[in-house]
Amino acid sequence: MSDQSRPWRKSSRSGANHNCVEVASLAARVGVRDSKHGGRAPVLQISASAWRALLTRIKAGEIP
């Protein structure tokens, strides 16, 4: 399955202006892309552990 056909998700808090990021599981990695560009957007791929660490820091208020 290509990155473009994966089930991309975005936050339920995203507004109608589409200014947000989307994430998808890509095998052992997490893909992150700009929702404004959809399938044309470059995909940043990070390890699942790095993604979890990032979310933990955001939830803890360490990253605004």
Place of tokens 């056909």: 5
Q: Residue 13 pLDDT more than 60?
A: yes
- pLDDT recorded at residue 53: 96
* pLDDT tens digits, 25-55: 988 899 999 888 878 889 999 999 999 999 9
Q: C-alpha distances in angstroms, 32 versus 18, 28?
A: 14, 13
Q: Residue 1 pLDDT more than 50?
A: no
Burial class (CB in 10 A: 0-12, 13-18, 19+), 8: buried
Q: How far apart are CA 58 and CA 64, in angstroms?
A: 7
> What percent of the chain is modeled with pLDDT above 70?
83
The single-letter DSSP state of residue 20 is S
